[in-house]
Amino acid sequence: MKLFDKVRQQKLLSTTLLLITLSVGILIGTLVNTGVKAARDQQTAPDATPLVIPHAQEVGNEFTKLARKLDPSVVNITADYTPKADQSAHGRRRNPDQDDDQSEEGQDLFRRFFGNRGQQGQGQGQGDVPPQIFKREQSGTGFIVDKAGYIVTNHHVVSDGQGNPVDHIFVKMHGDSTDYRAHVIGSDVETDIAVLKVDTKHGLTPVMIGNSDAVQVGDWAVAIGSPFGLEATVTAGIISATGRGNIGQGQFQKFIQTDAAINPGNSGGPLLNIRGEVIGVNTMIATNNGGSQGVGFALPVNMVVRVYNDIIRDGRVTRGSIGVTWPKDPKADTLIKAMGFNHGVIVGEVKPEGPAGKAGMKVDDIILGINGHTVKDGDDLIERIADTPVGTQVTLNCDRDGKTMDFKLIVADRAQIWADRVGAPRPAPEAPSKPEPTSTQVKFGIYPRAVSEEERDLTPEKRGVTVTRVEPGSFAEEIGMQERDIIIAINRTPVSSVDDIRKIQSTLKPGDPVAFRIVRTPPVAAGSRRATSAQQPVTRFLSGTLPEE
């Protein structure tokens, strides 16, 4: 028995030694093979040392802090509209003050800008066939100024090429995939500022407003926006100049100039100082190629604040006017001195029905003061009169042919006096108007009817409801539904009748996601009753989130 145990122990010992030997051999073979492989892999550059990626360590600076701080406050804005039939392919509107012989080439050097991501307007009609009109899309930037959802942007971002309101406006926050519907509270064409409102279910982070009067040439400047649709793009530069006038079409625009890169899509975004305070709204660029060339212009935030406060109070900006104009002469100072004065404005036009005309003022009168206070030049005059409340009586101190004269008049509304030039006030509705619903119209914005036998044969389950009309501006239009689409299911619930749609609609509420399964029927050529084999029906999904009421 002892002999048997001894033999068994020796056998176990031998097996253990054999396993250890094999393990050591495998380990040595692996090490040798690895070394050979490494040497073989580095035969191209045997004397080179492989690079090593160090541990990630953030290198923070003031720009990093600023970008992180402003990230939730700057938004991307997209808008769309369908041009009117009589609107030009380029959507360009002529400046009413432009001389007949003035070239547009120089005007294009200074351009307002936004990214245009849609169809390029109208197709070309042939003969008596009207041109096909496509929906246009454009994008820009804005920034949140109130946690209740108020946003500042440029007027041209939310208007078409002729200054009319767009059909739809969507706002997207950085890091949030939701497209929030926005509506215009009011806008001011003369400063190119608009105020929007969005309703969200969560709190928003407003920007910090700075004081643009403190801006100096050489200060750091940071622009944040969505150039070419690239959200939350941050660029930096310096303040190149302040008080740049005679650039835009508005008399009230005195721009801050910066070399921070600004491109199409930045329009309406904030220009910030190094503390992250908004000092301007990016509005224009000077360019020969359509992109940034280091010359951008932002409307000072102090002017923006004044416009914003008027809009949230009255829905529009009210400015005073006395009904006079004067020529923009680069040698105005020399002309005034030749008249024997070192300040003042020479009247070039008097509106007969305006306050100055009614008070007896004439062309070539020289306005020297208002209520005894000196008027420096034309810019000084228009700013002071514009800021004077409508209905206020003022006294203009003037000179006529060497004789001092005072004219008492009542300041009027600029938009009414110069309606042919600045446009009559046009308050924007808070929500688009909708027609009265008919017995076949449902919440989605469609007019459905029962399918015909021929249409039923086009569907895989031989059922459905045909869309006869899609309401402009409706939820159905937003998700891409078209006339002649056949709805066969909503949220995976089969649809066989108009009543089925109503029942499903009654279970939904604003903010709910909705998915339509449809059959899109191809267009049928004139004289043909059926689609060709190359134009077969296509089954697809259309989905979206029901807008908040």
User: Are 109 and 287 contacting, i.e. CB atoms less than 8 angstroms apart?
Assistant: yes
Residues with Cβ within 8 Å of residue 180, at least 6 apart in sequence: 170, 171, 172, 173, 198, 199, 200
Nearest Cα to Cα of residue 255 among 312, 304, 311 = 304
CATH of domain 446-545: 2.30.42.10
**Distance between CA 395 and CA 72 in Å, rounded?**
49
**Percentage of the chain surpassing pLDDT 70?**
79
The Cα 79–Cα 117 span in angstroms is 10
- CATH (one of 3.10.129.10, 3.40.50.150, 3.40.50.510, 2.30.42.10) for 320-422: 2.30.42.10
In terms of residues, how long is the chain?
Answer: 549
Domain ranges of the chain: 1-31, 72-86+107-122+131-317, 320-422, 446-545
Handedness of CA 16, 19, 23, 25 (dihedral sign): positive
Residue type, 107: Q
pLDDT of residue 164: 85
Enter the pTM of the model.
Answer: 0.66
Q: Please tell me which residue in 139, 212, 267, 321 is annotated as part of the active site.
A: 267
Told to judge if 55 belongs to the known catalytic residues of this protein, a careful annotator would answer no
Is the pLDDT at 122 greater than 50? The verdict is no
Q: How confident is the model at residue 412 (pLDDT cuts 50, 70, 90)?
A: very high
Mean local confidence (pLDDT), 410-414: 93
pLDDT of 535 reads 61
Model confidence over 500-531: pLDDT tens digits? 999 999 899 888 899 999 999 776 443 444 44
Q: Rounded to whole angstroms, how far apart are CA atoms 211 and 280?
A: 9
> How far is CA 527 from its chain centroid?
45
Residue with tokens 């006030």: 425
Q: 136-189 pLDDT, tens per residue?
A: 889 999 999 999 999 999 999 999 878 888 989 999 998 888 889 999 999 998
Q: For residue 165, which phi and psi values (nearest 5 degrees)?
A: -60, 145
Mean pLDDT of the region 119-148: 69
Does the pLDDT value for residue 381 go beyond 60? yes
* Banded model confidence at residue 52, pLDDT cuts 50, 70, 90: very high
Question: pLDDT digits over 413-454, tens only?
Answer: 998 888 876 654 444 433 333 333 433 434 788 989 999 888
- pLDDT band per the 50, 70, 90 thresholds, residue 92: very low
Please write the tens of the pLDDT for every residue from 293-351: 889 999 999 999 999 999 999 898 999 999 999 887 777 888 889 889 999 999 999 99
Does 187 participate in catalysis according to the annotation?
Answer: no
Q: In terms of pLDDT, which residue wins out, 216 or 175?
A: 216
**Is the model's pLDDT at 533 over the cut of 80?**
no
Alpha carbon 221 to chain centroid, angstroms: 21
Q: How confident is the model at residue 87 (pLDDT cuts 50, 70, 90)?
A: low
Q: Do the Cβ atoms of 246 and 228 come closer than 8 Å?
A: no
Question: Is 320-422's fold the same as 446-545's?
Answer: yes
Out of 192, 399, 485, 500, pick the active-site residue: 192
Count, in order, helices (H) and strands (E) of the chain. 12, 30
User: pLDDT value at position 6?
Assistant: 66
pLDDT attached to residue 342: 93
Is the model's pLDDT at 369 over the cut of 90?
Answer: yes
According to CATH, what is the number of the domain 72-86+107-122+131-317? 2.40.10.120
pLDDT at 129 > cutoff 80: no
Per-residue pLDDT for 5 more than 60?
A: yes
CA 47 to chain centroid: 55
Tell me, what's the pLDDT at 50? Answer: 92
**Is the separation of the CB atoms in 470 and 463 below 8 Å?**
no
The model's pLDDT over 98-116, given as tens digits with 9 standing for 90+, comes to 333 333 334 444 555 545 5
Predicted confidence at residue 394, as pLDDT, reads 95
Residue 95: is its pLDDT beyond 60? no
State the average pLDDT for the chain.
Answer: 81
- For residue 267, indicate whether it is catalytic: yes
